[in-house]
Every structure is written in C-alpha cells, then in structure tokens.
Amino acid sequence: MNLRFDLDMGKEIEKDKIYDVIVIGSGPSGLSAALYASRAHLDTLLLTGSEVGGQVSLTNEVDNYPGFAEGLTGPELVQKMQAHAERFGTVVQIDTITEADLSRRPFHLKGLYDEYWARALVISTGASPRKLHVPGESEFTGRGVSYCATCDGWFFRDKEVIVVGGGDSALEEGIFLTHYARKVTVVHRRDELRAGPALQKRAFDNEKIDFIWNAVVTEIVGEGNVKAVRLENTQTGEQWEHPVDGVFIFIGHIPNTTLFEDQLEVDEHGYLVVDGRYATNVEGVWAAGEVADPVFRQVITSAGMGAAAGIQAQRWLDGHETEEAQEEKPVASVRQAS
C-alpha cells in the first residue's frame, strides 16, 4: 500500500484510491456536500482548492447563519463545518485541481500534488468577485471593504458607505444598504447607469442614495478600518479624497469554471448549468454553491445546495452499485459498507 501524508490534517492518504465521492472546493457548499456524502457511509474526499474555506473565510463576522444567534467569524464557521464533515469520515486534503477528465469513469483529477479518482463528483469551486485592484483593497477586505451587502450591511448601521458599480447588482445592493447605512453613495465610471429602468427609478427616488458620476476609485485609505477613498474623475483627471466608512464593490463575479471548459455546460455568464437537483450535463457530476448560483450567493443557500448535491450523489451511487467502473489502471474501489 502506497501512503502519502495529508498536508492539512496529518492523515495518511492511500494513493490510487477510487473514492465514492470527491468534492472540489472547501466553502459551505463543498463542506455540506461532503458531510452528507460521508454520513451516508460513502468514502468521501474533499479537495480544498487554493482558497481554503472559500469566500466566507475572508468574512470578519457572519451573523445571518441560522443557529448562531451571537454570530461568529467566517473562519470559525468553516472550522465547525469541516469538523462536522470529518466526524463522519470526510478526508480533507489541501490540493488545487489543475486538470479534470470527466469523459470516463472513474472521473480522473490531477492536482498540484497528486492524482485522484472518483465515482461521483461534486463541484463547489465558487465564484470570485471582480476586484478593483487598487491599493488598500486587499488590506481592508473584511475591515470596511465588502463584496456582499446582504452579508455585511448590518455592520454599517448609521454609517456612510459607497457602492462601486452601475449595474443591477450595484443598485440592488445599494438599495438594500439603505436599510442600515445613513448614506449610500453610488460611484460609477460613466454618466449613466447600466441597471434596468425600474431599479434606476427606485435608486433615484431613494433620499438616502447619492451619485458620483464619471469617477473611479484609485485607492482605499484607512487605519485599522476604512476611513476614505481616493477618487479620480474619468474626464478631467481631477483627484480628491472622499470620507467613508465602507466600500461595497459590485462590478460582477467570475465563476471558477475554467477547469471544466468544453466538458460541462455553462450559461452566458460562465456559471455551471444545473437542473432542479443540481445535476450537470455529465452523469455523476453535480454542482453546488456560487459556481452555479448567480442570484443568491449566501452561505446558507450555498450550504443547502451542497447538502442536496451530496444527497443526490448518494442516491445516484445507490442506483449504480453494480456498474463496473471503467478504469485506466487496476485500482480497487473503496466503497464503505453501510
């Protein structure tokens, strides 16, 4: 038996093992899928990807996840979810998948450190918010810079914030922020919005919302937390500092689906297309969380999608117990007895 050291938890991992279920991604959807799969006595491996814990691990405080009335940090929630999945046997492995072959079973994955085989696959690779790439953005993420008003708006009660963007998401989130913030200023690089007419009317009619036109953020300034942004007029080049308590950036998301190009169906925005039970167009492959959700993008909805995908993987495997895996090399299946 060839053994390899688990980089994350100090466990020994058997090489060339065919797992019942492999989950790619360690955010709430991936951890929930792994929990449900391993609790069903399926041999389950979770591959973390480069962002261990997903986007929520960058969140300072989570106060809208049911069951935690006092709130907790993103990393704390991820640790609890990981411990829960591991309690039922999920193996957590730090690795980033660089190649995936979904054309045959068992599915074959290549990572930075090893290769993996799976009878069923749950993809939870998430979506990354588009960033401004300006000084201070990374430094103050979670300390005044946010990409989710629903997640973080509550922390800006009676404060002044800016919203960067001019599309539907920017105005929707800006309007939502008026429930908490004293003032919301929308900063847009042009002199007209891309959002739909109905949303524009709601924003223009809201007395808490102001607009700064033809401007871009060139720097986010603060000490411990955000204190101001530096703005530049796109027409005149004039620069000035605008005091603010929070910066909400809504210039789009990029679903992390490059790995599966030409194998899985995606929509016009690059999100994986799934049916009502989160199945992709490849049998035995499900997708959960923000990689397949351009609408809600919440921890709780991602966790629910992951749970459903884990259940569906278990049901699908139950119906394929007698199917012989098409293997490239002689490898023994390790399905656990229930």
Burial 316-328 (b: 16+ CB within 10 A, else e): bbeeeeeeeeebe
Average pLDDT over residues 14-29: 94
For 107, list phi and psi in degrees, rounded to 5: -65, 140
What's the CA gap between 151 and 130, in Å, rounded? Answer: 17
Q: Is residue 336 over pLDDT 90?
A: no
What's the CA gap between 7 and 10, in Å, rounded? Answer: 6
Q: What is the pLDDT of residues 244-264, one digit of tens each?
A: 999 999 998 899 999 998 999
Q: Do 127 and 254 form a contact (C-beta atoms < 8 A)? A: yes
Please report the pLDDT score of residue 11 as a whole number: 53
Kindly name the residue from 20, 43, 95, 152 that is annotated as catalytic. Answer: 152
152 is catalytic: yes
Question: Could you tell me where the DSSP H helices lie in the chain?
Answer: 28-39, 74-87, 149-152, 168-177, 197-205, 299-318
Helix/strand/coil for 3:
strand
Domain pair 3-128+253-318 / 131-249, same fold:
yes
Average pLDDT over residues 306-332: 74
pLDDT category, 328, cuts 50, 70, 90?
A: very low
Tally the residues of the chain: 338
Q: What is the pLDDT of residues 288-313, one digit of tens each?
A: 999 999 998 899 999 999 999 999 99
Cis, peptide link before residue 106, omega less than 30° from 0: yes
Q: What is the pLDDT of residues 117-171, one digit of tens each?
A: 999 999 999 998 899 999 999 999 999 999 988 889 999 999 999 999 999 889 9
Q: What percent of the chain has pLDDT over 90?
A: 78
What is the CATH code for 3-128+253-318?
3.50.50.60
246-249/145-146 β-pairing: parallel
Tell me the domain boundaries of the chain: 3-128+253-318, 131-249
Q: Is residue 61 over pLDDT 80?
A: no
DSSP string, 41-91: T--EEEE--SSTT-GGGG-S-B--STT-TT-B-HHHHHHHHHHHHHHTTPE
151 is catalytic: yes
Q: Do 301 and 66 form a contact (C-beta atoms < 8 A)? A: no
Q: Name the residue among 337, 306, 224 with its Cα closest to residue 27.
A: 306
Question: Helices 168-177 and 197-205, interaxial angle, to 10°?
Answer: 30
Kindly name the residue from 148, 158, 168, 205 that is annotated as catalytic. Answer: 148
DSSP string, 132-172: ---TTTTTTBTTTEES-HHHHGGGGTT-EEEEE--SHHHHH
Helix/strand/coil for 316:
helix
Record the tokens describing residue 281, joined without a space. 């167009």
CATH 3.40.50.740 fits domain 131-249: no
Average pLDDT over residues 175-182: 96
Q: Is residue 8 over pLDDT 60?
A: no
Counting Cβ atoms within 10 Å, is residue 16 exposed (0-12), middle (13-18) or buried (19+)? middle
Half-sphere exposure of 292 (CA within 13 A, CB side): 31
